[in-house]
């Protein structure tokens, strides 16, 4: 199965056309298999007692960060629906919705970058050598974010930046309220742009499927609640986090 599809340009030279959408089914199946294997593995593993959500609470996500997360989530889902559905045969007038959602995502990401650089502690998301011990040593508890959460964030960061950068180039090729299309990008360059946009989208589909799965798992549901309501209980904090590495009242 190829990563890319090819075409002949106007001069008869072979150039990249874009990502091979046959990969979509591979990505969907791979994500499903990983999710199924994980679900089975967790089911046969001995269940640990779930810490209570009652009692004192600590702040995990501020309102502004929760709004950012859900704006980004909605825009990414809209982008996936409007980008992928026409490819699998559910055709509708998608382009305008797609670029508007793309602009919302771009604005949200820019906001997040500025906020992270100047108002938040970048180290809370940085993957350290100590984080890498977590999966192999159950005594190692994470700070605010687990190594899995940090890895997911790093991967989503790279992919979203790729999809935005390539999307903005494609955006210049269509009419918008601010400019008329120029359609003057060389075909070979365009092929690379479509390829990057397509492959990063495919990878995002897999990551988002995993993200939603983990967000809905019973033992992780308190993280999803914290992304809605902003808090976790002190019991949950003590059960899942190292208070020395994350003191919520100071960092959040």
Partner 1 sequence: MAAHDVMPDTQLYQPVELDDALNLLHRHRGEGWLLGGGQDTYGWLKDRAKHPAAMIDLNGIDELRGIRETADGVEIGAVTTLVEVIEDAGIKRDFGLLTQAALRVASPQIRNVGTLGGNLVQDTRCWYYRRGLACYRAGGNTCYADSPQGMNREHALFGASRCVAVSPSDTATALVALEATMVARSRRGERLISADRFFVGPNTHITRMTELKPDEILTAIRIPSKWAGKRFYFEKVADRNAWDFALVSIAAAMSMENDIISEARFVCGGVACTPYRLRNVESAVTGKPLSDESAEAAATLASHGAKALNHNHFKVPLMENLVRRAMRA
- In whole angstroms, give the CA distance from residue 102 to residue 76: 8
Determine if 7 is a binding residue for partner 1 (CB under 8 A): yes
**Minimum CB separation from partner 1 for residue 18, in Å?**
6
Q: Rule CB under 8 A: which of 153-212 touch partner 1?
A: 173-175, 180-185, 187, 190-191, 194
Q: Structure tokens of 113?
A: 């970058």
What share of residues in the chain are helix, strand, coil (percent, to 5)?
Answer: 60, 5, 30
Nearer to partner 1, 72 or 193 (CB): 193
**Binding flag, residue 91, partner 1 (CB under 8 A):** yes
Instruction: Tell me how far, at minimum, the Cβ of 7 lies from partner 1, in Å.
Output: 4
Q: Which residue's CB is nearer to partner 1, number 94 or number 214?
A: 94
Maximum C-alpha span of the chain: 71
Rounded Cα distance, 150 and 127, in Å: 6
Q: How far is CA 42 from each of CA 35, 188, 214, 219, rounded to the nearest angstrom?
A: 11, 47, 12, 10
Instruction: Please state, in angstroms and rounded to a whole number, the distance separating the CA atoms of residues 87 and 107.
Output: 26
Q: Which residues contact 85 (CB under 8 A, 6 or more apart)?
A: 91, 92, 94
Site membership for partner 1, residue 93 (CB under 8 A): yes
10 binds partner 1 (CB under 8 A): yes
Tell me if 3 contacts partner 1 by CB under 8 A: no
- Cβ proximity to partner 1, 15 vs 212, nearer residue: 15
Q: Note whether 157 and 201 are within 8 A (CB).
A: no
CB of 13: closest distance to partner 1 in angstroms? 12
Name which of 180 and 244 has its Cβ closer to partner 1: 180
Shortest spacing between CB 100 and partner 1, in angstroms = 14
- Output the smallest distance, CB 35 to partner 1, in A: 31
What three-state secondary structure class fits 19? strand
CB of 196 vs partner 1, minimal distance in Å:
12
Q: Which residues bind partner 1 (CB under 8 A)?
A: 7-10, 17-18, 91-96, 173-175, 180-185, 187, 190-191, 194
């Amino acid at each position: 199965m190829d990563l890319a599809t090819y075409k002949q340009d106007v001069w008869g030279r072979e150039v990249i056309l874009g990502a091979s959408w046959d990969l979509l089914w591979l990505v969907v199946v791979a994500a499903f298999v990983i999710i199924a294997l994980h679900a089975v593995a967790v089911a046969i593993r001995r269940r640990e007692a779930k810490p209570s959500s009652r009692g004192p609470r600590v702040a995990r996500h501020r309102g502004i960060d929760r709004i950012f997360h859900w704006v980004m989530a909605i825009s990414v889902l809209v982008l996936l629906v409007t980008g992928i559905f026409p490819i699998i045969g559910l055709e509708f007038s998608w382009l305008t919705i797609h670029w508007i959602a793309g602009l919302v995502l771009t604005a949200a990401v820019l906001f997040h970058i500025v906020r992270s650089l100047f108002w938040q502690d970048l180290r809370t998301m940085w993957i350290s050598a100590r984080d890498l011990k977590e999966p192999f040593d159950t005594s190692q508890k994470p700070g605010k974010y687990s190594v899995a959460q940090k890895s997911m964030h790093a991967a989503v960061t790279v992919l979203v930046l790729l999809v935005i950068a390539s999307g903005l180039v494609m955006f210049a090729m269509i009419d918008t309220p601010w400019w008329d299309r120029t359609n003057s990008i060389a075909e070979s360059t365009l092929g690379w742009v479509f390829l990057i946009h397509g492959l990063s989208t495919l990878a995002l589909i897999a990551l988002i499927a995993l993200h939603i799965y983990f967000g809905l798992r019973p033992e992780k549901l308190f993280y999803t609640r914290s992304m809605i309501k902003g808090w976790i209980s002190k019991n949950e904090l003590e059960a899942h986090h190292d208070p020395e590495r994350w003191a919520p009242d100071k960092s959040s």
